């Protein structure tokens, strides 16, 4: 990567009058703000449809787009919705937070109205779109059957024949649920039509998109239901072990993620075709892919299915360079960032070195006085991406308020932080001035927000993924200040 910088802001966090950020006008405005600010990257979280808990890291599909992000004003301009009707719906009262309950209750009713108008008109274009996206028939049928069974996980579907994908059942449900299959197909057509237009605009400004690829897919997903042979599943396709991370300084019980684990031996027999298709799908969305929990490709924490915490898991060997080498050779022009945070063994460090991929450095981790840190900027090499903090971390102002006083004192001394500049801007300067090729800052830290701006608290089951930018907060003066920092430190 050339020397550059970017801002992390998820689509859901954009302003909009309809309760959640979308691919509409405010997304175009934010892209223009990035250009004015001298930024070269817009970093996003995964864009897939979310399930219980609203986490973008637990999606119904690794390929599909989130229908919540379809912009309703654009649909109205296309003649598919009545703008007056949209304004009569209660989308939530707090513009700073996403009310996912209200969105869930209202969004699909509105989108169904757009489907009834648009699908007959766009049928040929939708068929052409489906031909280019071979994952789509399985996804649309999966969502239609989920809706039929009151959105229960496919493991709980009362009809075993469709749960186990017997051919007669697939044919029956595709026929009986034809309207809903067409509906979920059309939503993906609308999402990608709007995404492609937005991405073209972003590119026209000289900006590229960084997006996350979670290392695991959700158990309750079309991915596992459609291709169970690539996962560690037992009788009835019930998982034998699931994902997580072991206990550490922050979480005594570890983190029980619950995703099914891959059958890497079976995947290798297929030439890792499942992973190739998955990364190809991510490349359809993003210019740069950040592989979340990259260390899990070297070794991963396996927890017996049914455990209530991650404490009783154990390490198992991952595919390492066997898989990473396939992906980097198959996609030689696709840039990949390795999220190498967490407990890094010599083997993980060697995998990162052998891959040649840039790892991550987080400034909030740099100033722990109890032990030497390789997150301090003077320890970096160029081939890395520096963050003040990620979506899983406290905002930098929250960190200042909550961290050990000695750690904050070290940060002040190391970076020369002062009240005149502002604590958050001094931390931004610390990352901007580092030797790291790429620097990324959360929008919340540009605004100097505290705990109210945190996007996600790992291990906390609710209240996450809700923060939103308010209209008018991405000001010209803020863009000018970011541009000055980027220019001083050679990132323009």
Query: Are residues 1 and 437 in contact, defined by beta-carbon separation less than 8 angstroms?
Result: yes
Beta strands in 310-424 (DSSP E): 314-317, 335-338, 359-362, 384-387
* pLDDT > 90 fraction of the chain, expressed in percent and rounded: 92
CATH topology of domain 4-64+204-488: TIM Barrel (3.20.20)
Over the stretch 7-63, which tens digit does the pLDDT of each residue have? 999 999 999 999 999 999 999 999 999 999 999 999 999 999 998 889 999 999 999
Which residue is it, tokens 């049914």? Answer: 306
Over the stretch 106-131, which tens digit does the pLDDT of each residue have? 999 999 999 999 999 999 999 999 99
Query: Are residues 69 and 191 in contact, defined by beta-carbon separation less than 8 angstroms?
Result: yes
The CB-side HSE value for 490 (13 A sphere, CA atoms) comes to 7
What DSSP string describes 50-84? Answer: B-TT--TTSBS-SSPPPGGGS-HHHHHHTTSS-HH
pTM for the model: 0.96
Which residue is it, tokens 């915490």? Answer: 309
Q: How far is CA 218 from the centre of its chain?
A: 13
Residue numbers annotated as active site = 292, 339, 392
Over the stretch 362-387, which tens digit does the pLDDT of each residue have? 999 999 887 778 899 999 999 999 99
Instruction: Identify which of 346, 381, 392 has the alpha carbon closest to the alpha carbon of residue 245.
Output: 392
pLDDT of residue 20: 98
pLDDT of residue 252: 86
Cα 310 from Cα 160, distance rounded (Å): 30
Q: What sign has the CA pseudo-torsion 219, 224, 230, 234?
A: positive
Model confidence at 1, pLDDT cuts 50, 70, 90, reads: low
pLDDT of residue 426: 98
Instruction: Tell me how far CA of residue 21 lies from CA of 2, 234, 470, in angstroms.
Output: 30, 40, 10
Q: Average pLDDT for residues 145-171, to the nearest whole number?
A: 97
Query: Are residues 101 and 50 in contact, defined by beta-carbon separation less than 8 angstroms?
Result: no
Instruction: Identify which of 181, 189, 171, 183 has the alpha carbon closest to the alpha carbon of residue 145.
Output: 181
pLDDT of residue 249: 72
* pLDDT > 70 fraction of the chain, expressed in percent and rounded: 100
Over the stretch 312-360, which tens digit does the pLDDT of each residue have? 999 999 999 999 999 999 999 999 999 998 778 999 999 999 999 999 9
pLDDT of residue 24: 98
Please determine, for residue 459, whether its predicted confidence score (pLDDT) is greater than 90: no
- Across the chain, mean pLDDT equals 96
Question: For the range 128-137, what are the long-range contacts, defined as Cβ-Cβ under 8 Å and sequence gap of 24 or more?
Answer: 129/188, 129/189, 129/192, 130/185, 130/189, 133/63, 133/188, 133/192, 135/61, 135/63, 135/64, 135/222, 135/226, 135/277, 135/281, 136/63, 136/64, 136/185, 136/188, 137/185
């Amino acid at each position: 990567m050339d020397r550059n910088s970017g801002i992390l802001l998820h689509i859901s966090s954009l302003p909009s009058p309809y309760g959640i950020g979308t691919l509409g006008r405010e997304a175009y405005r934010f892209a223009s703000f990035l250009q004015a600010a001298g930024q070269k990257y817009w970093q996003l979280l995964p864009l897939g449809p979310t399930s219980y808990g609203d986490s973008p890291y637990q999606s119904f599909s690794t390929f599909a787009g989130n229908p919540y992000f379809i912009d309703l004003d654009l649909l109205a301009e296309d003649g598919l919705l009545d703008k007056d009707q949209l304004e009569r719906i209660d989308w939530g009262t707090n513009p700073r937070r996403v009310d996912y309950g209200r969105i869930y209750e209202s969004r699909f009713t509105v989108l169904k109205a757009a489907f009834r108008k648009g699908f007959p008109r766009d049928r040929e274009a939708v068929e052409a779109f489906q031909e280019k996206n071979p994952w789509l028939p399985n996804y649309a049928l999966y969502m239609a059957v989920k809706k039929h069974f009151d959105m229960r996980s496919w493991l709980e579907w009362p009809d075993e024949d469709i749960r186990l994908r017997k051919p007669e059942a697939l044919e029956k449900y595709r026929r009986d649920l034809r309207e809903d299959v067409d509906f979920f197909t059309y939503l993906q057509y609308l999402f990608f039509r709007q995404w492609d237009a937005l991405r073209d605009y972003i590119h026209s400004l000289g900006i590229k998109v960084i997006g996350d690829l979670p290392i695991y897919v959700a158990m309750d997903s079309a991915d596992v239901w459609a291709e169970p042979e690539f996962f560690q599943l037992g009788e009835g396709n019930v998982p034998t072990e699931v994902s997580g991370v072991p206990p550490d300084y922050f979480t005594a019980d570890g983190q029980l993620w619950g995703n099914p684990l891959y059958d890497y031996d079976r995947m290798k027999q297929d030439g890792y075709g499942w992973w190739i298709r998955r990364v190809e799908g991510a490349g359809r969305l993003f210019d740069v892919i950040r592989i979340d929990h990259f260390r899990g490709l070297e070794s991963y924490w396996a927890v017996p299915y049914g455990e209530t915490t991650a404490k009783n898991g154990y390490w198992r060997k991952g595919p390492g360079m066997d898989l990473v080498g396939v992906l980097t050779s198959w996609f030689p022009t696709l840039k990949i960032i390795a999220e190498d945070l967490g407990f890094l063994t010599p083997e993980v460090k060697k995998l990162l070195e052998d891959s040649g991929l840039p790892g991550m450095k987080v400034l909030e981790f740099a100033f722990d006085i109890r032990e030497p840190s390789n997150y301090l900027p003077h320890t970096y090499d160029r081939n890395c991406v520096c963050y003040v903090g990620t979506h899983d971390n406290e905002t930098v102002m929250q960190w200042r308020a909550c961290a050990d006083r000695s750690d904050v004192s070290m940060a002040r001394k190391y970076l020369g932080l002062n009240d005149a500049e502002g604590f958050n801007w001094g931390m931004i300067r610390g990352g901007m001035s580092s030797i790291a090729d790429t620097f990324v800052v959360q929008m919340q830290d540009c605004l100097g927000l505290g705990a109210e701006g945190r996007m996600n608290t790992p291990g906390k089951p609710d209240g996450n993924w809700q923060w939103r930018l308010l209209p008018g907060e991405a000001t010209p003066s803020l863009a000018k200040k970011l541009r000055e920092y980027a220019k001083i430190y050679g990132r323009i």
